[in-house]
Amino acid sequence: MPPASRTEAPAPIVERLALIGAGLIGSAIARAARATGAARAIVIADASAEVRARVETLGFADHVAADVADAARDADLVVLCMPVARTAEVLAAIAPALRPTAVVTDVGSVKASVARAAGQFLALAPRFVPAHPVAGTEHSGPDAGRADLFAGRWCLLTPVAGTAPEAIDLVGRFWERLGSRTATMSPEHHDTVLAVTSHLPHLIAYTIVATASDLEQVTASEIITYSAGGFRDFTRVAASDPAMWRDILIANREAVLAVLARLQADIAEMADAMARGDGAVLEERFARARAVRRGVLDAGQA
C-alpha cells in the first residue's frame, strides 16, 4: 500500500451518521459533515413530510427517512437534533434498532434533563453523550443550517459518571472535525452557565419586545420604524423559535429563575439610582459591562 499522500482527504470519523431532525442544527451538521468528510454516509429523519421533501431537494443527505428507527438502524453515530422535550420518546423508538456499538449524542440547549432521560435506557446510557454546540442563528428549518455554523464555536460535552470514555472521545472528534472547539463539564454546571449566557438573555429579549408592543403611548409601527437605536438587537434574539425556547426555559427553570432573581434586584437598583439622579452608579455599572464586551471580542466569540 502506498503511503498516504499529503492531499488525501482525512478518513471519516464515522461510516454512517444518522441525524434525527432536519431543522437549523440538523441541516447544519449534515452540510458540515459532508463538507469536512466527517461521515461516509448521512441519513436524516424528520417527522414532517414537507421538511423531508425539502431535504431531498436540497440534497445534503444520502438517505431521508420518516421513521427515526429506520434512520438509526446501522448508524455508527446518531445525533438527536429535534426538540429536547422529545428526547425520551425518540430514545425509546430508536433503542431497539441500534447497533450494539452505536454512539448516540444530542444537541439540546439543556443537559441535566437530557442526561436524566437517557439514564432510563440502561443498555444505551453508557454510549449516550449529552452535548451542546453553542452556535445558532435566529433562522429555522433545513434551508438555514450553513456548513460553517460551528466553525470556531464551542461544543460542550456533558457526560455523566457512567458514560464510556470511547463514546466521549468519538463525539469530541466528530465535533472537532466540524470545526468546533470542545470542552467537558457536568450537565448541571452546563445548565447554570447557559442559564446566564443564553437562556436568560432570550427570556429578557422576548419579554422586552412583547412589553414594547403592548404600550399605549407608542405605536407598534413607531417601535419598528425607529428600532435601529438598540431595540432591533433584542428583536433579533426574540426571533428564535417560540416552542423551542418555551421548552428550554421550562426544562432549565430552576437555574434560570435563580439568575433572574439577581437580575431583577439589579434592575431595581438601577431604577432607584435613576430616580435619585445618581449617574455615578449607572456609569460604574455600564463601564463594568463594557469591559465584558472586550473579553468577548478577545475570545473571538463576537
* Smallest gap from residue 127 Cβ to a copy of itself (A): 26
Q: According to CB under 8 A, which residues from 75 to 94 bind a copy of itself?
A: none
Radius of gyration for the alpha carbons in the chain, expressed in angstroms and rounded: 22
Q: Which residues contact 61 (CB under 8 A, 6 or more apart)?
A: 19, 22, 30, 42, 43, 44, 55
Q: According to CB under 8 A, which residues from 245 to 284 bind a copy of itself?
A: 245-247, 249-250, 253, 256-257, 259-264, 266-268, 270-271, 274-275, 277, 279, 282-283
* Smallest gap from residue 49 Cβ to a copy of itself (A): 24
Nearest to 80 by CA among 23, 4, 134, 10: 23
Q: According to CB under 8 A, which residues from 160 to 179 bind a copy of itself?
A: none
Nearest to 117 by CA among 79, 91, 80: 91
Binding mask 91-130 for a copy of itself (x = CB under 8 A): ------------------x---------------------
Contact in structure between 63 and 40 (CB atoms under 8 Å): no
Choosing from 5, 7, 101, 217, the residue that interacts with a copy of itself (CB under 8 A) is 217
* Smallest gap from residue 29 Cβ to a copy of itself (A): 16
**What is the amino acid identity at position 20?**
I
- Count of residues near a copy of itself by CB under 8 A: 97
SS3 219: coil
Residue 251 to residue 109: CA distance in whole angstroms: 10
CA angle 263, 268, 273 (to 5 degrees): 125
In this chain, which stretch among 22-30, 49-57, 149-157, 167-175 interacts with a copy of itself, using CB under 8 A? 149-157
Choosing from 15, 50, 169, 222, the residue that interacts with a copy of itself (CB under 8 A) is 222
**What is the amino acid identity at position 184?**
T
* Smallest gap from residue 111 Cβ to a copy of itself (A): 13
Residue 238 binding a copy of itself, by CB under 8 A? yes
Choosing from 48, 182, 186, 227, the residue that interacts with a copy of itself (CB under 8 A) is 227
Query: What is the edge-to-edge ordering of all strands in the sheet holding 77-80?
Result: 63-65, 39-45, 14-20, 77-80, 103-106, 128-129
Residue 201 binding a copy of itself, by CB under 8 A? yes
Residue 71 to residue 30: CA distance in whole angstroms: 14
Choosing from 21, 136, 159, 187, the residue that interacts with a copy of itself (CB under 8 A) is 136
C-alpha cell read off for 83: 426538540
Nearer to a copy of itself, 173 or 236 (CB): 236
* Smallest gap from residue 166 Cβ to a copy of itself (A): 26
Residue 226 binding a copy of itself, by CB under 8 A? yes
In this chain, which stretch among 10-18, 29-37, 74-82, 191-199 interacts with a copy of itself, using CB under 8 A? 191-199
Bridge partners of 155, per DSSP, are 133, 182
